[in-house]
Amino acid sequence: MIKHPIGIFISGRGSNLKSIVDACKEKEYPAEVKVVFSNNKNAPGLSFAKENNLEAITLDYHKFKNTEEYEEKIISLLKPFDLELICLAGYMKILSKKLIGHYPNKIINIHPSLLPKYKGLNTHQRVLENNETKSGCTVHYVNHEMDGGKIILQREVEISAEDTETSVSKKVLKEEHIIYPEAIKLVLTK
Ligand code: GRF
């Protein structure tokens, strides 16, 4: 089994990072996490990366003049890893066409809603406000439209009247941890 080199971008907790790293430990899984990138040096997910001896890079956006220069630096730092796929996993910075253009069709993201519904932030809150009976998560390609790229995989969860933002988030996250590794496998082996 060829282990394709992938990179994971995070800004926070890193539970999706963990689910991907766990999948990569399987002999038959077609990917290996070569690098973890974070825009936030305090991201808890970075501790997980270090504990698991993963290469981790952090870069503070505020030290750069603009997004273009920031992403140019990211591109140069990632070059040695020859990444075939970049997986955004709770990466809270919108990418510009600089990075997207450098990795055409090679950047994917996970979003905690059934896209195209509920793009953007605070998805669970909006789902509950609208009395939805189901929600879920989506892995999709990243393009110039926020949360608007081609859908790769989705998974649904049911919402009941007793649900809160916390309970919905928990249910959805459980599904995220299943579909993200599945979607990566799909993309790399198609
Ligand atoms: C997840 O809910 C994901 O869908 C969203 O950000 C959250 C990241 O969680 N894009 P984690 O850092 O992977 O735990």
Structural domains of the chain, with CATH? 4-189 (3.40.50.170)
Name the residue among 113, 32, 35, 117 with its Cα closest to residue 74.
35
Give backbone dihedrals phi and psi of 134, rounded to 5 degrees, phi first: -145, 155
Q: Give strand pairing partners of 141.
A: 108
pLDDT, tens only, 1-54 = 899 999 999 999 999 999 999 999 999 999 999 999 999 999 999 999 999 999
pLDDT at 93 over 90: yes
Residues with CB under 6 A from ligand 1: 10, 12-16, 45, 89-90, 110-112, 137, 173, 176
CB 29: neighbour CB atoms within 10 A?
Answer: 18
Q: Could you write out the DSSP letters of every residue in 8-49?
A: EEESS--HHHHHHHHHHTSTT-SEEEEEEEES-TT-HHHHHH
pLDDT at 190 over 90: no
Burial of residue 172, with CB atoms counted within 10 A of its CB: 0-12 exposed, 13-18 middle, 19 or more buried: buried
Give catalytic residues, as residue numbers: 111
pLDDT at 187 over 90: yes
Rounded distance from Cα 92 to ligand 1 centre (Å)? 9
Rounded distance from Cα 158 to ligand 1 centre (Å)? 19
User: Closest ligand 1 atom to the C-alpha of 15?
Assistant: 14
Respond yes or no on whether the N-terminal peptide bond of residue 5 is cis (omega within 30° of 0): no
Q: What was the pLDDT predicted at 1?
A: 80
- For ligand 1, atom 5, the nearest C-alpha belongs to 90
Tell me the average pLDDT across 104-118. Answer: 98
pLDDT, tens only, 55-87 = 999 999 999 999 999 999 999 999 999 999 999
Q: How far apart are CA 58 and CA 161, in angstroms?
A: 41
pLDDT, tens only, 129-146 = 999 999 999 999 999 999
- For ligand 1, atom 7, the nearest C-alpha belongs to 90
Rounded distance from Cα 78 to ligand 1 centre (Å)? 22
Q: Indicate the helix (H) or strand (E) that contains 99.
A: helix 97-102
Q: Indicate the helix (H) or strand (E) that contains 134.
A: strand 134-141
Q: In what order do the strands lie in the sheet with 31-38?
A: 56-58, 31-38, 4-10, 85-88, 107-111, 134-141, 151-158
- For ligand 1, atom 8, the nearest C-alpha belongs to 90
Rounded distance from Cα 63 to ligand 1 centre (Å)? 25
